[in-house]
Amino acid sequence: MLPTGSDITHSPWSSFGQAKAAFDKIEPERTTKKELPQLGFDPYTNPNMKLVTYVDLIKFFIPNASIKMADLAPNVRACIEARDRCTGYEISAAETYTKRYGSFLADFLQFKRHTRTWGWTFNALIVMQDGKVVYKLWSGQPDISKDQFRKKPLGLLQELNFAPSVSGVTF
């Protein structure tokens, strides 16, 4: 009777390993935009892929004034300087699940709550100039495993505010 849930960002991959393996096949300066769909990177057929412009890439690589164009990788800098000939794909894939454990009554009355979360996330950025991949970057969590324990000795009463008030002023 305790709640469970899932949060799935749909993608062509069913695991972190599959997503990373497909990403690893991309070779900067060799892989073309036309070859990316064969590897699963097609924003027109695969969900949760974002088309990005050179303006989006500027925001991504230069988030504040402390980072200058000169700090960027040469291929990224050249791509951004090419303006409209510079595009990219931003990929976000994830599968996370949650499940609550314990006594329904203790959970419902908020005395004791144990929640387990597990899954994976994969994020990537592919930068292209004139239809050729010039830069790629990835991040993520291959294995999410988290347990959350909450204990409230007074249960629901712990949330109530019993602060005295005088003339509408709360102390």
Backbone angles phi, psi at 71, to 5 degrees: -80, -15
Report the pLDDT value the prediction gives residue 168, as an integer from 0 to 100. 56
Backbone angles phi, psi at 17, to 5 degrees: -60, -40
User: In whole angstroms, what is the distance from residue 114 CA to residue 16 CA?
Assistant: 26
Query: For 57-67, what is each residue's pLDDT tens digit?
Result: 999 999 999 99
Q: DSSP state, 14?
A: S
Altogether, the residues listed in the chain come to a count of: 171
Report the pLDDT value the prediction gives residue 164, as an integer from 0 to 100. 60
Q: Are 113 and 99 in contact (CB under 8 A)?
A: no
The whole domain housing 157 covers 4-170
User: In whole angstroms, what is the distance from residue 97 CA to residue 5 CA?
Assistant: 6
Q: How many domains would you assign to the chain? A: 1
Report the pLDDT value the prediction gives residue 132, as an integer from 0 to 100. 98
Query: For 37-95, what is each residue's pLDDT tens digit?
Result: 999 999 999 888 999 999 999 999 999 999 999 999 999 999 999 999 999 999 999 99
CA distances from 161 to 127, 155, 156, 165, 171 (A): 53, 13, 11, 11, 11
Query: For 107-129, what is each residue's pLDDT tens digit?
Result: 777 778 888 999 999 999 999 99
Q: DSSP state, 155?
A: G
pTM of the predicted model, to two decimals? 0.79
Q: Residue by residue, what is the 3-state secondary structure of 75-90?
A: HHHHHHHCHHHEEEEE
